[in-house]
Amino acid sequence: MSMLPFFEWMGGLRLSAFFLESVWPTPIVQNIHLIAVAVFAGSVLLVDLRMLGRGLTDTPLADLARTVEPWLIGSFVVLVLSGIPQMTSTALKQYYSPFFWWKMQAVLIGVIFTVTVRRRMAMRTEAELGPVFPKVVGVVSIALWTSVTIGARLIGLMG
């Protein structure tokens, strides 16, 4: 089943027309999106580095994961909300961009990985985890979110 009709529908929304016909809304949501990227990256990296045995090693992993979780979730919500108008207003460009699909697949895998494997692991006592498993999870998480960022940037640069 093709998703093209769905993308055509998004492109035809009043929201899309508003963003295409006005000057400032697009750069404003792009900037909000990029600041949210920085907050999200910080929230992810503090915990991933901790899993790799780097960074804030004096703080128990579960404590660290719990303190940054509101920022992780909050910035992700901002990313989605500020991403929606950018996607709908350029829906056909996104549909035909291989990088858009690369990014969204990586986002999907990243979210599932973060709320299942990574979260379950971060919230457990470290002694139960052994030395290898947390490192694998940290590397996978960094790799997934880095590939999201690369894909995202290339949508704009290479179509």
Partner 1 sequence: MIRSLFEWVDVMPMSIAWRESLNGYPLLLTAHVVSMGLVAGVIIFWDMRLAGMALKRVPVSKIQATMFPWMTLGLAINAGTGLAMVFSQPMRYFPNFYFWIKFFFMMFAAVNALYFHFTINNTVSEWEHDAVTPFKARMAGYASLALWAGIIVTGRMIAYSGLVPAWWLALELG
Total binding residues toward partner 1, as defined by CB under 8 A: 37
Stretch that binds partner 1, among 31-39, 108-116, 117-125, 133-141 (CB under 8 A): 31-39
Burial status of residue 1 (CB atoms within 10 A of its CB: 0-12, 13-18, 19 or more): exposed
Pick out residues in 32-71 that bind partner 1 (CB under 8 A): 34-35, 37-46, 49, 54-59, 63-64, 67-68, 71
Closer CB to partner 1, 28 or 117, in the complex: 28
Closer CB to partner 1, 12 or 60, in the complex: 60
Q: Phi first, then psi: what are they for 31, rounded to 5°?
A: -70, -40
Closer CB to partner 1, 39 or 117, in the complex: 39
CB of 157 to partner 1, least distance (A): 4
Q: Token pair 């910080």 is at which residue? A: 42
All residues at 6 or more sequence positions from 78 whose CB lies less than 8 Å from its CB, including other chains: 32, 33, 36, 39
The span from the CA of 54 to the CA of 34, in Å, is 26
DSSP for 121-156, written as a single string: HHTS-GGGT-SSHHHHHHHHHHHHHHHHHHHHHHHH
Closer CB to partner 1, 10 or 68, in the complex: 68
Residues 109, 132 contacting (CB under 8 angstroms) = no
Asked if residue 102 binds partner 1 (CB under 8 A), the reply is no
Residues making contact with partner 1 (CB under 8 A):
23-24, 27, 30-31, 34-35, 37-46, 49, 54-59, 63-64, 67-68, 71, 145-146, 149-150, 153-154, 157-158
